[in-house]
Structure 1
Amino acid sequence: MGHDPVYLTRRGRRVAAVIDADDLEALIAAAENLADIEAAKAARAEVADGEATIPWEQIKADLGLS
Structure 2
Amino acid sequence: MTRVNSAEVKKQLGQILARTARTKRRVMVTSRGKDVAAVVPIEDVQLLEEIEDRLDLDEARAALASVKREGTVTWKKIKRDLGL
Alignment TM class, shorter chain as reference: 0.5 to 0.7
Deviation string, structure 1 residues 9-34 (Cα, Å, up to 9, x no partner)? 11011110111111211111111111
Instruction: State yes or no: 1:27 paired with 2:48.
Output: yes
Runs of 4+ aligned structure 1 residues displaced above 2 Å come to none
TM-score, normalisation: structure 1: 0.64
**Among candidates 28, 31, 35, match of residue 7 of structure 1:** 28
How far the C-alpha of 1:46 sits from its partner, in A, is: 1.7
The answer on 1:38 being equivalent to 2:62 is no
Uncovered stretches (5+) of structure 1, i.e. residues with no partner = 53-66
Count how many residue pairs are aligned between Structure 1 and Structure 2: 50
- Which protein has the larger Cα radius of gyration, Structure 1 or Structure 2? 2
Q: CA RMSD in A?
A: 1.7
Which structure features the higher share of helix residues? Answer: 2
Aligned identity (percent) is: 30
Higher RCO (Cα < 8 Å, 6 or more apart): 2
Unaligned runs of 5+ in 2: 1-23, 74-84
Q: Which amino acid aligns with 2:53?
A: E
Q: TM-score, normalised by structure 2?
A: 0.52
